[in-house]
Amino acid sequence: MWKIGAIEITPVIELEIAGGTRFILPQAMREEVLKIGWLQPHFADPDGRLKMAVQSFLVKTPTQRIIVDTGLGNDKQGRGVPRWNNLQTPFLEDLASHGFAPDAIDAVICTHLHVDHIGWNTRLVDGRWVPTFPNARYIWSGKEYEHWHAHRDEPDVAPHYADSIKPIFDAGCVDLVASDHRFSDEIRFIPTAGHSPAHMSIAIDSGGQSAILLGDVFHHPCQIAHLEWATPIDLDQRQSTEMRRKMCERLAGTRTLVIGGHFTGQGAGYIVRDGDTFRLEPAN
């Protein structure tokens, strides 16, 4: 758990992965990863395999309980990664153990609407997909939603649109906002398109301290050393690369805690300059 002023941020991991990431970062071959010495031990294993996670972030403010991104979800089918189908994890029990029972959640913020960030938006009850968090407002970028709605019949979109997006919209639980929306006094959104059409990162400021939940601006800290390592699933690889550069230039040398959507191990850190590039200094 990280404390930013009066706000607590807690990661809840649904799945951890070591290696097997070629479809995410094909440039990150083991010999290349081993050249980035600072990745070990927190972000890579001794063989050069990347450590990653599918996870959600619980954000507790003095007045609200918020979940940022909702992972993959149980009972889902038609996912492009076989391991992601028909999961049966204790995710909801894990949330409850942190004081985030489903009916206690005030808001669900999705940085974007990819399959591994929306799965627990819904759960299967008597053969129907219903909102997992019945008292929450689901906060999505309007532009992001419009893009996926327009592509809802495409084979690689249709399954997760049908089980994790459409039921929430039909239930009237969604607030569509701009990607630079201010959610509260402490929380605002930063437009970081590239990986998806209107991806947004979540900036948190409280008590003179700051953090940023980056979502998928970086899938892994190795991209901080190699800004040009774009993932094939980026909607616009040139834009995503430029966004990583802008984010590093903006954050380098500050005490803004950087939390990546799929970072595991130490999980968070501070971006610092490292010669002609950058590195992530793990947070204590």
Q: Residue 237: beta bridge partners?
A: none
**How many of the other CB atoms lie within 10 Å of CB of 247?**
22
Distance from the Cα of residue 80 to its chain's centroid: 18
Instruction: Tell me the average pLDDT of the chain.
Output: 96
Q: Give percent helix, percent strand, percent coil of the chain, each to the nearest 5.
A: 25, 30, 45
Token pair, residue 112, equals: 């974007």
pLDDT digits (tens, 9 = 90+) for 5-50: 999 999 999 999 888 677 889 999 999 999 999 999 999 999 999 9
pLDDT digit string (tens) for 224-280?
Answer: 999 999 999 999 999 999 999 999 999 999 999 999 999 997 789 999 999 999 999
Supply 38's token pair.
Answer: 């600072």
State mean pLDDT over 94-110.
97
Whether omega for the bond prior to residue 191 falls within 30 degrees of 0, making it cis, is: no
- Residue 196: per-residue pLDDT: 98
- For residue 176, the number of C-alpha atoms closer than 13 Å in the C-beta half-sphere is 13
Burial status of residue 169 (CB atoms within 10 A of its CB: 0-12, 13-18, 19 or more): middle
Long-range contacts of 230-234 (CB under 8 A, 24+ apart): 231/24, 231/25, 231/195, 232/23, 232/24, 232/26, 233/23, 233/24, 233/114, 233/195, 234/194, 234/195
Pull the structure tokens for residue 5: 């002023």
State how far the Cα of 124 lies from the Cα of 208, in Å rounded to an integer: 42
pLDDT at 23 (0 to 100) = 81
User: Is the pLDDT at 158 greater than 80, yes or no?
Assistant: yes
Residues 105 and 258: their CA atoms lie apart, in Å, by: 24
pLDDT one-digit tens code per residue, 206-225:
999 999 999 999 999 999 99
Spatial distance between the Cα atoms of 87 and 85, rounded to a whole number of angstroms: 6
Alpha carbon distance 243, 199 (integer Å) = 11
DSSP 103: G
pLDDT of residue 21: 72
d(CA 267, CA 182): 25
Which helix or strand (DSSP H or E) is residue 33 part of? helix 30-34
